[in-house]
Amino acid sequence: MELNQGRRQPAYQLILTWVLVIVVMNVVGYLLKKASLSTMLTSFLEEIVVLTIVCLANRFWLGVPIHLKSELSFWQQVKTNGGPVFFMVMNGSLLVTAKHFTGHSALLVLLALLIAIFEELLFRGVLLGGFLRRFANNVRWGVWLAVISSSLLFAASHLINLSHQSLTMTVGQVLMAFGFGLLTSAMYLRTGSLLWTIAWHFLEDAQVLVNTGLLQQGVNLPAWAGIGPLVVYGGIAWFMLRRSKLADVRARFLN
């Protein structure tokens, strides 16, 4: 099949979009705190604002196609996502067995869904899709260059957590986020549906927020705690995006 790769996505557009989102999130968060709004309401408003910005930027500037519906059957998608589905089940179990589930917990679950939609739309939908078009001419390494680039930006975004937690915990989160980015990228590319990555991201964040709280007070993981997830997630991503599968990915996203 001959691929119609279209124009190469300028990398500066993708980087500027990411920088804009980070800046706006910090500015909006600062202004809302100055207005003495609650942390929960501030978080909701931040996510709504940046989600709107990402949608507008992609609609009127970037133009990266977002894939939601897969051409694969449901069971083919489950089989393709075998490893990630295992983690999804674990996250779901931790969520439904959480102690003291209250109305506040329900708000945290709703916030987790909003976060998942925003972050997956930005990092997997827009940035990964954009980097795929940027590196489209590199048949051998283009897919992996796109995956690594978008995952690095996703991981770097977690440095914002330094505003309310320790350096060691933030480093651990950055490592975990990089691995998570690699694996969710593989899920999106292999199935052609962003809904899978949104679902896993939602379950991951929801169980963490419900079990530890919005600011995860009292939790202080060491930096090395992120190495295990990075290795495991990265290994599964490598298997899912092994060389024999890259042609299918390119046909799905670059035709």
Type of residue found at 183 = L
Taking alpha carbons only, the member of 1, 32, 250 closest to residue 146 is 250
Q: Note whether residue 77 is domain-resident.
A: yes
Q: Note whether residue 2 is domain-resident.
A: no
Domain that holds residue 86: 11-253
Type of residue found at 151 = S
Q: Note whether residue 140 is domain-resident.
A: yes
Q: Note whether residue 76 is domain-resident.
A: yes
Q: Note whether residue 27 is domain-resident.
A: yes
For 21-78, the pLDDT digits (tens) are: 999 999 998 898 888 888 889 999 999 999 999 999 999 999 999 999 999 999 999 9
Task: Tell me how many domains the chain contains.
Answer: 1
Say which residue the tokens 């990266």 belong to: 64
For 171-192, the pLDDT digits (tens) are: 999 999 999 999 999 999 999 9
Residue 228 has pLDDT above 90, yes or no: yes
Taking alpha carbons only, the member of 121, 23, 26, 9 closest to residue 62 is 9
Q: Note whether residue 129 is domain-resident.
A: yes
Q: Note whether residue 83 is domain-resident.
A: yes
For 69-110, the pLDDT digits (tens) are: 999 999 999 999 999 999 999 999 999 888 777 778 899 999
Q: Note whether residue 1 is domain-resident.
A: no
Q: What is the pTM of this model?
A: 0.93
Q: What is the per-residue pLDDT for 148?
A: 98
For 141-175, the pLDDT digits (tens) are: 999 999 999 999 999 999 988 877 889 989 999 99
Q: Judge whether 154 and 178 are in contact, CB under 8 Å.
A: yes
Q: Report the length, in residues, of the chain.
A: 255
